[in-house]
Structure formats: structure tokens, C-alpha cells
Amino acid sequence: MTVREVRAALREVGDDGDGFTTIDLPVTQTELVALEAARMAIEHANAGVVEPGHWLECLVFEGASTLLGSRPDLADLYEPREPPALRPRLLADGAPVPPRAPAVDDDYVEEPIATDDPVGLDATVRERAARLASRDLWLGELLSRFLLARGWVALGYPSEQSWFDERLGLARSTARGRVTLARRLRGLEELGDALCRGEVGYEQAAMIARIAGPDTTEAWVERAKTRTYKHLAEEVRAAELLAGVAGEPPRQLAPPEDDELEAVFEVERGVLSGESIGAALRDGDGDAVQMSVDLLGQDRRRCFPVRARDEVIRDFRRLERVHRASGLPGSFATFLVVAFFDAWGGRFLEGNRWKALHDRDRHRCVSPVCKSRSVTNHHVRYRAHGGGDEPENQITLCEFCHLDGEHGGRLRVRGTASKPEWWIGRTPVMHIEGREVRLR
């Protein structure tokens, strides 16, 4: 082999990536909503704890089982791997920079920790985190220039990963996160300034930078100032879904209005309550899909970006070839969703006498600072104080927020299910009315 051939062969196997690939799937709006429905269902079945693209991995394995079970003659076109690690849970329930790092700023002093009180420590940690934000942005910009110049090659390192390991001592994923945020913040000065002033946190800024544009940054920053991280994440995801449905880049959208957010929540309720999106798709114009289309807009083709592990994308493409060779009608995306909901849709019809309440609250703890999906019902106004069993007096809380939180005095909720008011902490550190933060 020539040197060029050796390099080409090694590049195909290369280990310099982060192990993930992003692809754009051409889908109709109906297919996009159905894929999102499958994602919602799989994340719910796995208690919301899944890595990027895991939902696609589950769809691929379920689709392979269905397709190859009916067409074993096509098995040679698909070489399966081991099932995804979390599947048992689903089954069970510029210019180069100098190589030397600059010294720490002269004005930085390690001050003694003056208190062991949790409230005081919380305030100190938040203040220090805000200081670090500007350093993180500076580091991201510096790394961006170094990587653009392929500085690790000039220094004699065989790969970007080896430079991170040997020279920087920083996890590549961590460093890449700083680089991504620094690049996205170019042209979004309001967001960068708000981050450095401590008005938004690092993770909030990373979310907003993914979806904001020059014309919408200010609106997103103002929204972030009055939202908990949990609620902001819901609104960013809703905006991304609405943008995909509309066939527009997310950066063209402002924060969602209340009715738009409720429309997205209503689609999720339809999935988690047991409406079979898969069966509706197979029938062509079922109520569940039609409801989603009516809520979210008109049907037309658009790109649906999916990020997953490299091996998942390879499995997806192999199974796509098998589906094409099978001659089955309909799109590959439709087949995957139908196969999944045919197999697992019945699970979402199951429940206890509180199912209607859990469906309304989307099977989540409704505390504005909790993302748990293991929930019980709670009476906002205690029955001992005259409260009744009407739906407006009941909400879903996880075990901690219910017992250690509300009954243990660490949080309070008053009002009604549709208009709750929250105080977080024995001595409140947060006060939230509905979705709006009044005290932080």
C-alpha cells in the first residue's frame, strides 16, 4: 500500500471523533411528530435518563426484530449487534495560540470559606460559578483557534484526543463543550454578557445558544431570567419541535407562547396516555396523528436532525437498506414508529386509579426544579384542611418532593393544579408562580 492508501484506510477507522454522528432525515410533518412521539415514549419508559440517540437505537432494534422476523431471507443484509444497554429497562417497565497556558488572572484570590450554612454556601458557589463563566468562554475561544489551526499536529501529537489527554489534562468532551458554546455565542453578545454577569447559568446559555439568533437572543435571555432550568429546557425543546414542524431553522423562532407550549404538551399527553401513534400512522389518518397535525401545522417535508452513536447510525442505515429491499409500503421512518408502538403501545394504556392525573401532568413530578418521573398524587390543600379530591386540588410529586419536600418543610406549593405557587427551601431561595420565577 502507498502512504496515501494507508492514511485513507486509517482515516476510515479513525479514533479522533467523539463517537457520535448527526444525520438529517427527510420526513413529512406527520412522520416528524410520530418520531418525536416515539422519543417521548422511550424516554418515559427509561425514566428520562438516556444518552443522545438512545431512542433511535431502541427503534432500530425493535424494527429489526419485526422486519427480520417476517422476512428471514433478508437477514444477510443486516448484521445485528447486542441490544442497547438500557433496553432491559424498557422491557421491564483563526491563528494558532502559544502552547503554554496563560497564568491565572492576577485579581483571582482564593478567599477563605466563611460559612458552613447551606444557604450561605449556595450563594458563594453561585457567585463563583458566575465568575468562572467568563473564563470558560475565554478558554473555549482559545481552544477554538488552536483546533482550527490543528495545533496538536504542529506540536507532534498524533490526534486531537492525545493532545487533550497528555498536554491539557482536560476531558475532550468538556473542552469541546466550551468550544461549541464559544462559537455559538459569536454574534449573540446579549447572551454572552448575561452569562458573564451571572444572569443566566452556563447550561442555560448552552441551551439558548443552540436555538437563538441575533433577532431572538434578547427574548430568550429575558425568558431564561424568569424560568427554572427545567422549564427553560421544556420551552427550548418545544421551540425546536415547532421549528421542525414548520420546516424553519430554530433560530428564526422566538420563545414559544403559552398556547404553543400547551400544544406540544398535549401531543406528549396523547402519547403517554396510550394513544397509539403507530396504529394511527398505519391506518393513514388516525385521530392521534391528525390531532398532532392540527395542533402543530400543515404537513410537508423537512429535515429531522438526529444525533446518535456511530454504530447506531450504521445499524440505522443497514436496516434502512433491508426495509427498501423488503418492498414494504410506506416510509422507513413510519415503519420504525409503527413497529415500536405495535410492540409497546399497550404499556401506556396501563395504570392505576390515578392514571388520569398522571396523564394530565405528563407522568412527571410537577415541582419546577425536579425532573423525576416516579410520582404519587398530592393534595395541594390538605384533606385535613378541607381540601377535596377534585383534579384542580391534586398534582403529581415524586417521593422526595412529596414527603421530604412538602411534608418535610423543604418546599411549599399552594394555589391550584393549573395555577400553582411554589417556595423552594425552608428559608425560600426560589419563589415561582406558575412558570415564572419571582425570587432566585
| Statement to judge: residues 324 and 260 lie in one domain | yes
| Statement to judge: residues 359 and 319 lie in one domain | no
Instruction: Output the pLDDT for position 275.
Output: 65
Confidence check: pLDDT of 14 > 70: no
Instruction: Output the pLDDT for position 87.
Output: 38
Question: Where is the domain boundary, 350, 371, 390?
Answer: 350
Question: Where is the domain boundary, 350, 380, 397?
Answer: 350
Confidence of residue 24 (pLDDT cuts 50, 70, 90): confident
| Statement to judge: residues 279 and 406 lie in one domain | no
Instruction: Output the pLDDT for position 299.
Output: 57
Calculate the CA 265 to chain-centre distance: 15
- At which residue does the C-alpha cell 489551526 appear? 149
Q: Among 2-16, 338-352, 364-378, name the most confident range.
A: 364-378
Measured distance CA(431)–CA(425) in Å, rounded: 9
Domain-embedded: residue 432: yes
Phi, psi of 239 (to 5 degrees): -65, -40
Are the C-beta atoms of 343 and 66 separated by less than 8 Å? yes
| Statement to judge: residues 87 and 199 lie in one domain | yes
Domain containing residue 415:
355-439
Task: State the average pLDDT for the chain.
Answer: 83
Instruction: Output the pLDDT for position 17.
Output: 55
Confidence check: pLDDT of 351 > 50: yes
Confidence of residue 343 (pLDDT cuts 50, 70, 90): confident
- At which residue does the C-alpha cell 414508529 appear? 337
Query: Does 23 or 91 have the greater pLDDT score?
Result: 23
- 256-285 pLDDT tens trace: 999 999 999 998 998 888 765 544 545 554
| Statement to judge: residues 346 and 388 lie in one domain | no
| Statement to judge: residues 321 and 423 lie in one domain | no
| Statement to judge: residues 284 and 400 lie in one domain | no
Report DSSP state, residue 83. Answer: P
| Statement to judge: residues 329 and 363 lie in one domain | no
- The per-residue b/e assignment along 102-138, b for 16 or more CB within 10 angstroms, e otherwise, is eeeeeeeeeeeeeeeeeeeeeeeeeeeebeebbebbe
| Poorest-pLDDT segment among 87-101, 175-189, 400-414 | 87-101
Residues 6+ apart with CB under 8 A from 138: none
- 56-101 pLDDT tens trace: 999 999 999 999 888 888 888 886 555 554 433 333 334 333 333 4
Instruction: Output the pLDDT for position 352.
Output: 78
Are the C-beta atoms of 429 and 416 separated by less than 8 Å? no
| Statement to judge: residues 198 and 288 lie in one domain | yes
Measured distance CA(188)–CA(186) in Å, rounded: 5
Distance spanning both ends of the chain, measured CA to CA = 64
| Statement to judge: residues 280 and 152 lie in one domain | yes
| Statement to judge: residues 54 and 122 lie in one domain | yes
| DSSP of 102-144 | PPPPTT---PPP----HHHHHHHHHHHHHHHHHHHHHHHHHHH
Domain-embedded: residue 255: yes
- CA 364 → CA 268, 323, 439, distances in Å? 12, 36, 23
Phi, psi of 306 (to 5 degrees): -130, 130
Q: Where are the beta strands (DSSP E) in 8-132?
A: 20-27
Question: Where is the domain boundary, 350, 376, 400?
Answer: 350
Confidence check: pLDDT of 114 > 80: no
